[in-house]
Amino acid sequence: GQNIDQPTEMTATEGAIVQINCTYQTSGFNGLFWYQQHAGEAPTFLSYNVLDGLEEKGRFSSFLSRSKGYSYLLLKELQMKDSASYLCAVSHTGGFKTIFGAGTRLFVKA
Amino acid sequence: EADIYQTPRYLVIGTGKKITLECSQTMGHDKMYWYQQDPGMELHLIHYSYGVNSTEKGDLSSESTVSRIRTEHFPLTLESARPSHTSQYLCASSEKLRDRYEQYFGPGTRLTVT
């Protein structure tokens, strides 16, 4: 079967660092996406990992361990505008179908 | 910036009505998708298309139907709306970029069936 788990909600302080974890069980794994979704808006692409290791892009970094079925999204120097849901999503072999987790709602407080 | 559009953005309709949700993209992408998302829940794939005249049902059973007569247009139709169809419907398209199919999402249609 297919299963993606991530925490439902997290709260962090402006300027801090937060790590959002994601574990997955799926057949035919191709890669892992992270998307950001503000309330009432469409998801937007943040990152994609296909190989093990850390990918850094500005304030956001994403890590993947394929053997452990585990990924995390690291957000540094948090800003109020980072308050949003963060969706972990797995891309299947063949690539064009993506399975989404329920998302982690992040609240950034002053 | 991605060019994918959905209309209407909001729709309130009575039970039993037939409705069509429109989705268009101007990027020339072959792959298009429809997702259903309830508040605070995951996106569920309900339909997808490989290209013109090619459509498939997704992972979540849906009473809706889709068509793909033109590359840029992927409408979703509900023949008889019911309150259980109340949800947000997101359309997306994708292209292959190096090692991945990155999906671009439209703004969504929030449907309420009374």
| Average pLDDT for chain A | 92
Segment B16-21 shows an average pLDDT of 96
A97–B100 C-beta distance less than 8 A:
no
Q: List pLDDT tens digits, range B48-94.
A: 998 999 999 987 777 899 999 999 999 999 999 999 999 999 999 99
The pLDDT assigned to B97 comes to 74
Q: How many CB pairs under 8 A join A and B?
A: 58
Q: How far is CA B46 from CA A98, A101, B59, B89, B107, in A?
A: 12, 15, 6, 10, 17
CB contact under 8 A, B43 and A100: yes
Cβ contact, residue pair A41, B40, below 8 Å: no
Q: What are the tens digits of pLDDT across the range A14-25?
A: 999 999 999 999
What is the pLDDT, as a whole number, of residue A30?
A: 86
- In chain B, which residues have their Cβ closer than 8 Å to the Cβ of A91? 100-101
Q: Which residues pair with B89 in a beta bridge?
A: B36, B109
B1: pLDDT strictly greater than 60: no
In a 13 Å sphere around the CA of A109, the CA atoms on its Cβ side amount to 3
Nearest chain A residue to B60, by CA: A99
Residue B114 CA to chain centroid, in angstroms?
21
Residues 43-82 in B contacting A (C-alpha not used; CB under 8 Å):
43-45, 48, 50, 59
